[in-house]
Amino acid sequence: MHTEDENIILFPKWKAALKDESLQDLQAKRYDEALEKINELIQYHVKDHEILIGKMMCLMELGRFQEAEDMCEEIIRDKQDEHYFHYVHIYLTILFQTNKYDLLMDRIEDELSSDNLPSVLREQFLQLYDVSEKMESDLVEKKTPIYIVELLEAVQQSDHRKQWRSLMRLKTMNIKPDNVVIQLLEHDDVHPVLKTAIFNWLKELSHSKVVKVRKLGQELLIKPIDISEIKELEMYKEIMSHLQNIEQKNPIMHTFLADALYRYFYVRYPILPPSEDTEFIADALKNMYLFLLNNDSPDLDDDLVTYYIDELRKGEKLYLSIIED
C-alpha cells in the first residue's frame, strides 16, 4: 500500500511518462492515441505549451478543425501568454485550411495594429493576408454563381426555406446583389419575408436606383436608400407609442405585441399600410392584448380593427414560417 508521500512522488513520474508517450504517438502519427493521452493530462490540469500545441495538432490532423479553432480562440484571449504568437500562427493556419479567409484577414488586421507583433511575423502575416485576399476573391467568384443557381432553383420549387438559406449564403459573400437577385422582388413565387431580406440587403448597400417590389397583392416603385429602417418608421413608432400603457402594466405582454407588430411590418416592408390606419392597427394590438389577458374573443364593431387583427396574425405566421426567433 502506497503512503501519501509515495503518491506525491509517483505522480510527476506518471505525468512525465504519459507526456512522453503522447508526444511519441504524435510524432508517429498515431493521432487518436496521442489525443486520448493529452486529454487525460489536461484533465489533471497539465496544460503546458507542448501539451496544448500537441492537442491542436492532433485535432487538425484528425480533421476536427472546428474544435481546434474553438480551442485556439479560447487560448488567444490571453494576450499576455508568452506563447501567444505561436498560438495565433496556428489559429491563422486553421482558418486558412478551412477557407475562412474573411475571419483570417480580420484577425491579421487586429494583429498588425499591435505594437507587440515581432517584425518577422509582421512580414509573414502581410504575405498571408495578400494570399488570403486573393483566395477569398477566387472563392467568391466561384461560389456566387452556384448560390444564385441554388436560389433560383428554390424559387422554381417554391421551397421557401431553401430560398432563405441560399440568400443568406450569398449575403455572407460580401457581394452586391445582381439584377437576377433584384428582380426576385417582383417574383410571385418568392416568399414576402425573402423579398424583405433582399430589399434590406440593397438598403444596407445604400442602393439608390428605383426597384419594383411586388408582394401581398400590392406593388411599389422605390429607392431602398430613401426609406427608413422598420423601427425608425414614423408610423411604426407612433403605433408603439400607443402601447406604452401596456408596457407599464404588463412588460411581457408588451414584448409579445411589439414582436407581432415588427413581424407584420417586416412581412410587408417596404410596402406600408395607409398612414391613416395607424390607430386601427394600435387598436387591433390592444384587442389582441385583451384577448390574451382574458382568453375571450373581442366583440368588435369596427371592421378595420378586425381586419388588422387578422393581418397581424397572418404576418406572424408568414414571418415565423421562415425566421425562427
Residue 201 has pLDDT above 70, yes or no: yes
Residue 54's SS3 state is helix
**Which pLDDT belongs to residue 291?**
76
Residue 306: alpha-carbon gap to chain centroid: 37
> How many Cα atoms are found within 13 Å in the side-chain-facing hemisphere of 1?
2
C-alpha cell at 65: 478543425
pLDDT digit string, tens, across residues 30-83: 999 999 989 988 888 877 888 899 999 999 998 888 899 999 999 988 877 888
**Which pLDDT belongs to residue 210?**
96
pTM: 0.62
Nearest to 25 by CA among 51, 46, 49, 64: 51
Q: CB of 16 within 8 A of CB of 9?
A: no
Q: Which DSSP helix (H) or strand (E) runs through 212? A: strand 211-215
* CA distance readout (Å), 49 to 42, 55, 59: 11, 10, 16
**Which pLDDT belongs to residue 299?**
57
Residue 10 has pLDDT above 50, yes or no: no
Residue 137 has pLDDT above 90, yes or no: no
